[in-house]
Amino acid sequence: MQPRHHPGTRPQGGSRSPLGEDSHRSEPSGRALDVIVAADSALLRAGLATLLEDHGITVVAQAADGAELQRKARAHRPVMAVVALKEPPAREDLPTLVLAADADPDVALDLLDDRPSGAGYLLEERIPDVDRFIAAVREVAAGGSVLDPAVVSSVLGRRTARDAFTEREREVLGLMAQGRSNRAIAQQAYLSERAVERHVTSIFDKLRLPPSSHTHRRVLAVRAHLQR
C-alpha cells in the first residue's frame, strides 16, 4: 500500500456526503478532539493539519514515520491518529483513520481486527470531499468504524448465496460499514427510518449480537460479516 504524496495546496470542500449525518456527534468522554497526524510527505502532513484545524480539530503533533508517531502519541495522548504512512506502526489501542492510495481489503480488515474501537480506512482521493473526510475523523474518534466504499464493495462482492442476509440487508450493512447513521441510510436507500431500524435489528439478530451497553453493535456487525 503506497500512499500518494499530495501537492501542498489545501484540499477544497466537496459536496456533502451522507457521512456528514454524524459530523456533529459529541467527542468521547467529553474530551476535546485532539489528533496526531502522521504522513511520509511533509506537504501532506501540513495540508491535513491545516484542514483539521480549520474544522475545529486540534492537531497536537505531527509525525513523519511510525516510530515518531508512537513516541509522540505517548507524549501528547491524543484522542486519535490520522495516518498516511507507507508502513503504519504495529497495533495500537489509539483509534486510527488510515489514508491509503489504493483499496486493499485485507489491510482494511486487519485494521478492524487490530483496533478494539475506532478504526477507519479511506482512500486518499476522498480527502477533497471535506465533509466526508471530517465526518470520518469524528466517527473514528467516537469509537466507530469507517470503511471506504471501494473496500466495502470489494469485500461484499466475495459473499455467496449462502449468506443469510437479504439483498436489502446487505445494502444496509454496506452503508453501515461506511459509518452512516440510520437517517443517512434511509436517504440513500430510499427507505423510511423505521424500515432501516427493522433491517438493522434483523442484521443484529442474524449475527447473534444481543443488546449491550458495553459494545458498539454496529461496529461488531460490520466486523463479524466482513471478516467471515
pLDDT at 12: 40
Secondary structure of the chain in the HEC alphabet?
CCCCCCCCCCCCCCCCCHHHHHCCCCCHHHCCCEEEEEECCHHHHHHHHHHHHHCCCEEEEEECCHHHHHHHHHHHCCCEEEEECCCCCCCCCCCEEEEECCCCHHHHHHHHHHCCCCEEEEEHHHCCCHHHHHHHHHHHHCCCEEECHHHHHHHHCCCCCCCCCCHHHHHHHHHHHCCCCHHHHHHHHCCCHHHHHHHHHHHHHHCCCCCCCCCCHHHHHHHHHHCC
pLDDT at 158: 54
Question: Along the chain (228 residues), what's the average pLDDT of each consecutive run of 10 residues?
Answer: 42 36 40 90 95 96 94 94 83 85 78 76 92 93 87 63 73 83 89 89 80 63 65
For the chain, which residues make up each domain, given as ranges? 18-151, 159-226
Asked whether the beta carbons of 100 and 123 are under 8 A apart, the reply is yes
Confidence (pTM)? 0.62
Give the span between the Cα atoms of 157 and 135, in whole angstroms: 26
CATH for the stretch 159-226? 1.10.10.10
* Domains 18-151 and 159-226 belong to one CATH topology: no
pLDDT at 225: 62
18-151: which CATH number, 3.10.129.10, 3.40.462.10, 3.40.50.2300, 3.30.1600.10? Answer: 3.40.50.2300
pLDDT at 145: 85
195: nearest Cα among 211, 218, 171, 179: 171
